[in-house]
Chain A
């Protein structure tokens, strides 16, 4: 499963969701990504990896979309473990992603 737009790319393959590029869309433009996450979660996976190492920018509507449509929804699936893989090279990831920890107990955040 894949979304390919001018500024960003979202791929789902072998339990890994990879987001890359720049996500600075308008609120309404995030509906496509919301549906993408919903489709993944519909299959009730037992583990998921969100790889954002190549995500250069995420605006607040993007933060909301990832937190609400992926993390909070995933937290309601029994037994699902979510791992977020981040990059040390992006300051915003170091500052913002650890905030997500309080949204889901069964989640780990790893910086590479």
Chain B
């Protein structure tokens, strides 16, 4: 494996995941005005939710996909906003699972803190406790981002998360993968 690359969580490459179908959006963060980029994030997320609900015939997947795609894209937009790099969201459909990949590039200096937070989430035995702590920390800190979104994706939306980080010098490519089991969704039909 590339020594600049690290994997956190149960990550699988799209080309190794035996997808039945994919849907991909790519856009250059620096090219679009911030407010329009934000609006596009909502439009893309709603479209993805509607598109796959229609394909799968599982209504419960729509709000789940909408929230997860929107949260991952929000994170990508926040961290890429000053750059002229491509943000990509790709959704892969397997027989028993949906895979959502969101890729962006971020400042390498911020990666250690991010990695520490990811590890805390992945190791957490009590996500409700982590949620409460994140909210209390947000109250006592000047930092605007609370990381509540990633906790909510796992805890409330039932997805698992994994990351691929690729150090490219000043910038690091971050690919976040959210995995949604369709077995659980079909059981509720």
Contact = CB atoms under 8 A, between A and B. Distances in A.
Interface of A: 22, 24, 26-28, 57, 59-61, 63-64, 67-68, 72, 90-92, 95-96, 99, 102-103
B132 A60 contact: no
Contact of B128 (A27, A57, A67, A102): A102
Interface residues of B, number: 28
B66 interface: yes
A60 B148 contact: yes
A68 B138 contact: yes
Contact of B146 (A64, A92, A99, A102): A64
A99 B63 contact: no
Ranked 10 nearest A-B pairs via Cβ? A60-B149, A95-B156, A64-B146, A27-B144, A60-B148, A67-B135, A68-B139, A102-B132, A96-B156, A91-B63
A27 B22 CA distance: 31
B149 A59 contact: yes
A111 B146 CA distance: 27
Contacts of B155: 99
Given A28-B144, A60-B71, A95-B157, 16 more contacts: A27-B145, A57-B67, A59-B71, A59-B149, A60-B148, A60-B152, A64-B135, A64-B146, A67-B138, A68-B138, A72-B139, A95-B156, A96-B156, A99-B155, A103-B132, A103-B135
Main secondary structure of the interface of B (DSSP, over half): helix
Given A26-B38, A60-B152, A92-B67, A99 B131 contact: yes
A91 B128 contact: no
